[in-house]
Amino acid sequence: MSSPLRLGIAGLGTVGIGVVKIVQKHAGLLAQRSGRPVAITAVSARDRRKNRDADLSAYRWEDDPMALALAEDVDVFVELIGGDAGIAKDSIEAALRSGKDVVTANKALLAMHGQELAELAEGLGRVIRFEAAVAGGIPVIKAMTESLAGNRINRVMGVMNGTCNYILTRMESAGLPYEEVFEEARQLGYLEADPTLDVGGIDASHKLAILSSIAFGTRPAFDAVEIEGIERVSIDDIRRAADMGYRIKLLGVAQMTARGLEQRMSPCLVPADSPLGQLAGGTNMVVVEGDSVGQIVLRGAGAGEGPTASAVMSDVIELARGVRLPVFGVPATSLSDSQPARTAVPAAYYLRMELLDKPGALAKITTVLGDAGISIDRMRQYGHKDGSNVPVLFVTDRTTPEAIDHAIETLPKTGVLASDPVELRIEEV
């Protein structure tokens, strides 16, 4: 059997310890499947005294990840530190320059600096693998770069943040307001240290930018993603959407059009009986549509020790087998700059508003919609007491985002709205 593939693991949080456990538990299985042993040589983390629920005594400890990146007895530098710059980026660059391949779970770094790192790696004849950076244990990177390589990808979409999906499904199942479920998620440890990375849609948008690059052969363009989080989704929206046969998801969508690359991350309505509509809890789902294969649905755990460590190890095994691919599936120098485009694809929309209890109020609203060229598919007016505000819900026929924007801008001028209207796109899935 060949010599061992030697790993240096930088970062011993949840995922790093998960990788250690897999290597220790499945040493024989990994060697059998890889054709060579996989061994951990050294590790690095901030505090060596911390109890990490794993025996690390057999591995050399490096206080500085840079020392690990430069170590001569490491073949693959496994970066699990996190962060879009700083020591994570510096140590990856050092590892590549010292002749090592890299495995990382760092979505923010790849979304922000992926092009630069890919060009560096490929120029040095090295490899960066990052299955764990998108959707946890779901093998979506491998599926897109290898299994679907014979397809022109038409659209990529999905639920890519388990915390947001947990919050939205918990709101529906328990009938709880956003603020209460947000606090519950925080107490359970589901939220990042900066919660806006989750609920603000930033974490999921990092993942979407990476998938867009692979799908459409473009340079990662995180700054071009239109981002809206779930903070404004209310329990009323959850209930009204369900009443109409929909569920609300934080949905990422990317597609190449004649106008350019559309990338958006926003709360959308999806049919309750669709695969995305049925997705509950912290589970992730990615839907890929190819011209030959049609629609592929990938579903699984999007985070956690086991699933994410499993994805890290899939990359390690590929390297042990000698599989060497360009970082984003094609040579980095061939990736094109994308033209960012705001979506112009027509869709139905959910509109919720509260009207003042005035004669002719509803007629004024429908006139604005009609003047914007928006037809109404369904409308519901919910019960109210005399003198109180009147809850009204519309589901429109397919219309353009421009028409919806015009209507939303015009509606307050009618003088019959009790509060700002809420509009959510209904995505065809």
Which residues are paired to 62 by β-bridges? 44
- Taking a C-beta distance cutoff of 8 angstroms, is the pair 136, 285 a contact? no
In a 13 Å sphere around the CA of 250, the CA atoms on its Cβ side amount to 34
Furthest-apart CA pair in the chain: how many Å? 84
- Taking a C-beta distance cutoff of 8 angstroms, is the pair 260, 337 a contact? no
- Report the 10 Å Cβ neighbour count for 428: 14
Active site members: 207
Which residues are paired to 6 by β-bridges? 39
Q: What Cα–Cα distance (Å) separates residue 395 from each residue in 266, 377, 399?
A: 18, 6, 11
- Taking a C-beta distance cutoff of 8 angstroms, is the pair 207, 133 a contact? yes
Question: For 74-95, b where at least 16 C-beta lie within 10 A, e where not — what string?
Answer: bbbbbbbbbebeebbbebbbbb
| Sequence-ordered list of residues with C-beta below 8 angstroms from that of 249, at least 6 positions apart, any chain | 159, 165, 168, 267, 268, 269, 270, 276, 277, 279
- Report the 10 Å Cβ neighbour count for 112: 20
H-assigned helices in 229-360? 235-243, 305-321
* C-alpha to C-alpha distance for 149 and 200, rounded to whole angstroms: 32
- Taking a C-beta distance cutoff of 8 angstroms, is the pair 147, 122 a contact? no
